[in-house]
Copies of this chain bind each other. A is one copy, B any other.
Amino acid sequence: MIILLLLLFFTKMIAGAPSDSTVFGYIEEHQDIYVQRLKEWVSIESDSSNPEKRCQVVKMMNLTAEQLTQLGATVELVELGKQKLQNGNEIPLPPVILAEIITDPQKPTVCFYGHLDVQPAKYEDGWLTQPYTLEEKNGSMYGRGTSDDKGQVLAVLHAIEALQKHDLPMNVKFVYEGMEEVGSNGLFKLVEERNSTFFSDVDYIVITDTSWLSKKPGITYGTRGNLYFFIEVECARQDLHSGSFGGVVHEATSDLIFLLNTLADSSGRILVPGIYDAVANISNKEKEYFEKAEYNLEEIKAKFGIKNFKYNTKEEVLIQNTCYPSLSIHGIEGAFSASGTKTVIPAKVIGKFSIRLAPKMDPSVVEKQVIEYLHMKFAERNSPNRINITCVIKAKPWVSTDTDGPLYLAGKNAIKKVFNSEADFFREGGTIPIGPQFYEVTGKSTMFLGIGGPDDAHHGQNEKLDRYSEASSKYLFL
* A residues in contact (CB < 8 Å) with B: 47, 49-51, 86, 119-120, 125-126, 181-182, 211, 224, 226, 228, 235-251, 253-254, 257-258, 260-261, 264, 266, 268, 304-311, 317, 320-321, 324-333, 335-347, 352, 354, 356, 381-386, 392-393, 428-431, 457-462
Tell me which residues across on chain B come within 8 A of A342, comparing CB atoms: 49, 119-120, 330-331, 352, 459
- Pairs A-B, 4 closest by C-beta atoms: A243-B430, A237-B305, A247-B326, A331-B335
Contact A243 B356, beta carbon cutoff 8 Å: yes
Given contacts A310-B250, A332-B331, A343-B328, contact A241 B182 (CB under 8 A): no
The residue of chain B having its C-beta at the shortest distance from the C-beta of A229 within the complex is B341
Given contacts A243-B226, A266-B258, A431-B243, contact A460 B338 (CB under 8 A): no
Tell me which residues across on chain B come within 8 A of A324, comparing CB atoms: 247
- A458 to B384: give the CA distance in the assembly, Å: 24
Contact B241 A460, beta carbon cutoff 8 Å: yes
Min CB–CB distance A299 → chain B (angstroms) = 14
Tell me which residues across on chain B come within 8 A of A244, comparing CB atoms: 211, 321, 428-430, 458
Min CB–CB distance A339 → chain B (angstroms) = 6
Min CB–CB distance A241 → chain B (angstroms) = 4
Contact B304 A381, beta carbon cutoff 8 Å: no
Point out the residue from B86, B266, B328 that lies within 8 Å of A381, measured CB to CB: B266
Point out the residue from B125, B249, B327, B385 that lies within 8 Å of A246, measured CB to CB: B327
A-B contacts, 19 listed (Cβ < 8 Å): A49-B341, A50-B338, A51-B340, A119-B343, A126-B238, A235-B306, A235-B307, A237-B304, A241-B457, A242-B328, A242-B459, A246-B356, A247-B268, A251-B328, A251-B329, A253-B328, A266-B381, A330-B343, A344-B459
Tell me which residues across on chain B come within 8 A of A248, comparing CB atoms: 309-311, 317, 320-321, 326
Contact A241 B330, beta carbon cutoff 8 Å: no
- A386 to B341: give the CA distance in the assembly, Å: 22
Min CB–CB distance A280 → chain B (angstroms) = 15
Point out the residue from B245, B344, B460 that lies within 8 Å of A238, measured CB to CB: B460
Min CB–CB distance A204 → chain B (angstroms) = 24
The residue of chain B having its C-beta at the shortest distance from the C-beta of A127 within the complex is B238
Min CB–CB distance A56 → chain B (angstroms) = 14
Min CB–CB distance A294 → chain B (angstroms) = 16
Min CB–CB distance A450 → chain B (angstroms) = 12
In the complex, besides A182-B341, A336-B352, 19 extra interface pairs with C-beta distance below 8 angstroms are: A50-B338, A51-B339, A236-B305, A240-B460, A241-B460, A243-B431, A243-B458, A243-B459, A246-B356, A247-B324, A247-B326, A254-B264, A266-B383, A330-B335, A330-B341, A331-B342, A337-B337, A342-B352, A343-B459
The residue of chain B having its C-beta at the shortest distance from the C-beta of A428 within the complex is B243
The residue of chain B having its C-beta at the shortest distance from the C-beta of A261 within the complex is B261
Tell me which residues across on chain B come within 8 A of A460, comparing CB atoms: 238-241, 344, 347
Tell me which residues across on chain B come within 8 A of A309, comparing CB atoms: 248-249
The residue of chain B having its C-beta at the shortest distance from the C-beta of A251 within the complex is B328
Point out the residue from B211, B239, B459 that lies within 8 Å of A459, measured CB to CB: B239
Contact A331 B336, beta carbon cutoff 8 Å: yes
Tell me which residues across on chain B come within 8 A of A429, comparing CB atoms: 241, 243-247
- A94 to B242: give the CA distance in the assembly, Å: 25
Contact B250 A268, beta carbon cutoff 8 Å: yes
Given contacts A337-B333, A343-B228, A343-B328, contact A247 B461 (CB under 8 A): no
The residue of chain B having its C-beta at the shortest distance from the C-beta of A358 within the complex is B247
Contact A242 B333, beta carbon cutoff 8 Å: no
Min CB–CB distance A105 → chain B (angstroms) = 38
Point out the residue from B228, B266, B330, B385 that lies within 8 Å of A253, measured CB to CB: B330
The residue of chain B having its C-beta at the shortest distance from the C-beta of A242 within the complex is B328
Tell me which residues across on chain B come within 8 A of A328, comparing CB atoms: 242, 246, 251, 253, 343-345
